[in-house]
Amino acid sequence: MTTTTMTATTTMAPATRNTLALANIGVAIAAFGVSTAMGLLQSLSIADINFPKRSEELYYMSVTAHGVLMALVFTTFFIMGLGYVIAQEGLGAIRGRALGWIGYWLAVAGSLSAAVTILRGKATVLYTFYPPMQAHPLFYIGATVLVVGSWIWGGVIIASYRAWRRDHPRVPAPLTVHGMLATVILWYLATIGVAIEMLGMLIPWSLGFVDKIDPLVARTYFWWFGHPLVYFWLMPAYIIWYTVLPRIVGGRLFSDPLARMAFILFLILSTPVGFHHQFADPGITAGWKLAHTVLTYGVMFPSFMTAFTVIASLEIAGRLRGARGLFNWIGRLPWSDPLFAAVALAMIAFTFGGFGGAINAAYAMNSMVHNTAWIMGHFHVTLGTTVALTFMGATYWLLPRLLGRQLRFTWLARAQPYLWFAGMSIFSVSYHIAGLRGLPRRVYSASLSGDQGAPWHFLTVVAAQGGMLLFLSAVCFVSVVIATWTSGKKIDAPPFEFAVPLRPPVASIWDRFGLWTVVAIVLIAAAYAYPLAELLSHPRYGSPGFKPY
């Protein structure tokens, strides 16, 4: 019965196991597991809690490895895996599977090269790799090869879509595919910035072909990439919120056109905003910073739409389960389902993350929190919870379907999202407050104990306790994954089923990806061409490289 529903939606021969998706998700979870242990060590270091071999070097090496493994490796591989699931299920087939494997192995090789270089202490440059801190070339080359691998993945997704499109003219693609295409196109546009930085600046400089580098220009290219990177993480999470969550709770997607429009708005608005990370940088005029700020507030609009649409979909589900009152539909939702709990808590975290983000994006208020522990409090709520917890929840949903195995330790899977949420609340609130009290970010504050560190010490110790809960939660998650993967009871793989909208989707302007790509490019050019030309027109003196450790 399960296989018939599956073939009915995909009109293909019985689906082969999606090993490409599994391989990508496996790497993502391995990177996540290693990296959480480092997160714990860092939070202990900051709190001046001793453990064997604690040192400043270890702290900075660990912060670099943790940031790179989480923000670049875990996320990218997970999203690639999800992309392959969506291509297979939404389009019926992955076109260019062999190329997909080449992309996968390139991405694995690149990630290993970057990670090993960091762990050998040759690339302690933090995950933003700002020059003039300089890493060994194998770090930059590795990160670039990871991106090249992901470009191939994007090509496979687009090729799969085009093949489907030829057979299905004039019908809107499934919403999952629509969201994933927007994600892929955004990724291409975003990574142009970091590719210019890597190939044009960092790699030649680290190889010794040029002596000096311009930190400001490099940072500008980095943030061309760095902000849309956030939406590269968030859009796949939103795909799950829009298409999987309402289905799991037995509801309907409240509005299909609103969801499509939201993805397009993210695609066009999330790149021309990078200067909100450079408010404190000289050399960029206030007017351009303001322009990027306005667009930043523009991106909040599709986020609000997403919150509205998804919550309305959940309300429909609660009411279908018999809720009558204003709020009692909330209690009718399946809070003990691991996917639901993870995603619902991720969404609650996002409301707080959104408030914080609005503060960060405000030119004047930014100076209050810039480079303080507030920022890491902020991105652990957004990336570290909204995105990461959604991906963990999605894993509980994906694994049985991809592996044909029953989830093991379901009780652990049920408790894990709550543990993460509790740990993160403690961790993140403490660092937000410590940031307002001036605790710098990325500082081995164990060295600030005594009078210097006193104003923060209590908060950092509390945060470390949150860190321990987070680590425990991560151990639960990884245990469930390993146990399911290796010894989960064999079952008929349940079908991949996605939410049905209240009204059937119709073709609309939001399906015209060619048009929106052009709009996105025009906006990026408008936001960056003039300020970059201005930066590059001045005589640039540059800086030699510094190797902190």
227 contact choice in ligand HEM, Cu ion, none (CB below 5 to 8 Å, kind-dependent): Cu ion
Chosen residue from 61, 118, 126, 419 binding ligand HEM by CB under 6 A: 126
Distance (Å, whole) CA 399 – CA 405: 7
Closest C-alpha among 349, 344, 325 to residue 333: 344
Number of residues that bind Cu ion (CB under 5 A): 1
Q: How many residues bind ligand HEM (CB under 6 A)?
A: 26
Residue 152 interface partner, choices Cu ion, ligand HEM, none, CB cut-off 5-8 Å depending on type: none
Q: Which position has the token pair 């770090």?
A: 139
Among 67, 318, 353, 501, binds ligand HEM (CB under 6 A): 67
Q: Is 405 in the site for ligand HEM (CB under 6 A)?
A: no
Nearest to 240 by CA among 383, 392, 357: 392
Task: Name the token pair of 301.
Answer: 């609009």
Least distance CB 119 / ligand HEM (angstroms): 15
User: Residue 19 in 3-state DSSP?
Assistant: helix
3-state SS, residue 417 = helix
**Amino acid sitting at position 362:** A
Q: Among residues 191 and 309, whose Cβ is nearest to ligand HEM?
A: 191
Sign of the dihedral defined by the CA atoms of residues 32, 296, 360, 131, in that order: positive
Main-chain dihedrals φ then ψ at residue 213, nearest 5 degrees: -135, 150
- Least separation in angstroms between CB 360 and Cu ion: 8
**Please, what sign has the CA dihedral across residues 148, 151, 152, 153?**
positive
Nearest to 84 by CA among 9, 92, 146, 396: 92
User: Smallest distance, Å, CB 172 to ligand HEM?
Assistant: 32
Q: Does 39 bind ligand HEM (CB under 6 A)?
A: yes
Using rule CB under 6 A, residue 158 touches ligand HEM: no
Contact 397, 358 (CB under 8 A): no
Q: Which residue lies nearer to ligand HEM by CB, 245 or 392?
A: 392
**What is the spatial distance between Cα 280 and Cα 265, in angstroms, rounded to a whole number?**
27
Closest contact distance (angstroms) between CB of 497 and ligand HEM is 27
* Least distance CB 385 / ligand HEM (angstroms): 8
Q: According to the binding rule CB under 5 A, does residue 227 interact with Cu ion?
A: yes
Residues noted as catalytic = 227, 231, 378-380, 441-442
Our finding on whether 380 is near Cu ion (CB under 5 A) is no
In the complex, the residues that contact Cu ion under the rule CB under 5 A are 227
Contacts with ligand HEM, residue ranges (CB under 6 A): 36, 39-40, 42-43, 46, 63, 66-67, 70-71, 74, 126-128, 376, 380, 383-384, 388, 441-442, 467, 470-471, 474
